[in-house]
Amino acid sequence: MKLNIKKILEICDGSLLCGSDSIIIENYSKDTRTIQKGDCYIGIRGESFDGNKYWLDAKEKGAVACILDSYEGLVKDFENFPIILVKDSVKAIQDLATYVRENTNIPVVAITGSVGKTSTKDMIASVLSEKYKVLKSPGNLNGQIGLPLNILSLKDEEIMVLEMGMNDFGQIKKLSHIAKPNIAVITNIGTAHIGLLGSRENILKAKLEILEGMEPGSTIILNKDNDILSTLNLPDYNVITCGMNKPADIFAQNIERKINESKFEVKENGKMETFQLPIMGDVFLTNSLLAIAVGRALNLSIEEIKKGLSKVELSGNRMEVTTLKNNITLINDTYNSNFEAVVSALNILKDYLGKRKIAVLGDILEMEAYEEEIHRKIGSLEVLESLDAIFLTGSASKYIYEEALKREVLKDKVFYYETNELLIDQLLSYIKLEDTVLLKASHGMDFSKIAEKMKKIFKK
């Protein structure tokens, strides 16, 4: 949405230090590395840097204005360049996004949950794109800064599909009041952030803040296979349930699981309809049911929904499958991790073809007091026995190692290394023709470098 600086000043309660208030702003950026000519630069103060200090760099790269919450310098040197001073830059972009949303009459679909938010968003956007022009959150920009910036990027799109993340109470509430969703999707309630919130019940409470910005009677789409969500009672909303293990409004039947593909049937108007998903794994199948529910709610035809699902592409480093030299298969799932995501990834690996199946696992971060318990649960998983090797690294992953060694069948299969570098050296010498290798760890474990090294060494 185009706004002139005079309107921006009004919305943000800001003051104009210099420059004209008639300049029109359409695009915003907080990063001088990616800023484009014509953008308005937003200086944001971080934990280790202060974006307010880089506004001149932004100007030199083509920014036409900037929004700052601190400024040092002589404004007379930049009389023709608008500098907007506000109390808080983050609140300023949130206020701007709220204004854009309130003055935009298009549907908003919001997705939250402990795991699968981004893949579900990708599927929903792929489905809706068969009928509408869709604004989709890029990557996982789903927080207090990313979501407002997504809304501010709105041009002529007909639907917004937004991801909402959190690590504490109150965060999704704020995002919901900004985005005012018409449809909310909750993928599951797991253990992500349990170290910060203390229990799965508290995680549910934090996720349900998505309802705060919604009108009664709005549509809520839930994964009924999740134990906590299956018992949820929301009488003030239009609830649609999805699942493949428990009877649901959208229920997957006659499931066929193949390498890099899933097929299933859903009853539509008394007739069984077949859907195809170009991704393997039950977690993605469940997420596709949520996408079907959104498509239904927004009046897409069955054929449009089928076509959208058949073309789904997931965001990077999320079960990204690459075939390397010697028919080695790399499954790169290194963007982030939690217990449920590890279980899902290991089960997908188990069903892959190939001579040997190798899991490379690192720490799940932000577990706090639950760190040992969660990692020991991974070490006790039965699915590990179906694998040919398990490579581990990270201080918390030592608990996986200790637990796995309690089983005789795993003693010659599980290997632990103190550092990523030691693991990489041993892994590269271990991999052979037609092996399948899964990489899974929290983003902070830097497993993307292991993926890069494998792609370089085993380049076709």
Domain at 45, CATH number: 3.40.1390.10
CATH number at residue 442: 3.90.190.20
User: By residue range, what is the domain housing residue 446?
Assistant: 320-457
Task: Tell which of 261, 286, 310 closes a domain.
Answer: 310
**Token code pair at residue 390:** 């398990």
Task: Please tell me the distance from the alpha carbon of residue 279 to that of residue 262, in angstroms, as a whole number.
Answer: 6
Shared domain for 375 and 406, answered yes or no, is yes
pLDDT of 77 reads 64
- pLDDT 10s digits, 311-326: 998 876 677 888 999 9
Shared domain for 290 and 360, answered yes or no, is no
Shared domain for 217 and 293, answered yes or no, is yes
- pLDDT 10s digits, 302-359: 999 999 999 998 876 677 888 999 999 999 988 888 898 899 899 889 988 678 999 9
Shared domain for 246 and 378, answered yes or no, is no
Shared domain for 127 and 272, answered yes or no, is yes
The set of residues, in sequence order, having a beta carbon less than 8 Å from that of 453 and lying 6+ positions away, is 424, 428
Q: How many of the other CB atoms lie within 10 Å of CB of 339?
A: 22
Task: Tell which of 271, 290, 310 closes a domain.
Answer: 310
- pLDDT 10s digits, 242-279: 999 989 999 999 999 877 789 999 998 889 999 999 98
Q: How far is CA 300 from the centre of its chain?
A: 24
Rg (CA), the chain: 24
Per the structure, how many domains does the chain have? 3
Task: Please tell me the distance from the alpha carbon of residue 442 to that of residue 196, in angstroms, as a whole number.
Answer: 16
pLDDT of 446 reads 94
Residue 96 lies in a domain: no
pLDDT of 167 reads 84
Shared domain for 274 and 241, answered yes or no, is yes
Shared domain for 448 and 408, answered yes or no, is yes
Shared domain for 11 and 137, answered yes or no, is no
Shared domain for 108 and 252, answered yes or no, is yes
Counting as low any pLDDT under 50, the low residues of the chain are none
CATH number at residue 252: 3.40.1190.10
SS3 265: strand
Q: In what order do the strands lie in the sheet with 65-68?
A: 15-18, 83-85, 65-68, 40-42, 28-29
pLDDT of 76 reads 65
Task: Tell which of 30, 57, 88 closes a domain.
Answer: 88
* DSSP output for 335-358: S---HHHHHHHHHHHHT--SS-EE
* DSSP output for 68-91: ES---S-GGGGTTS-EEE-S-HHH
Shared domain for 289 and 358, answered yes or no, is no
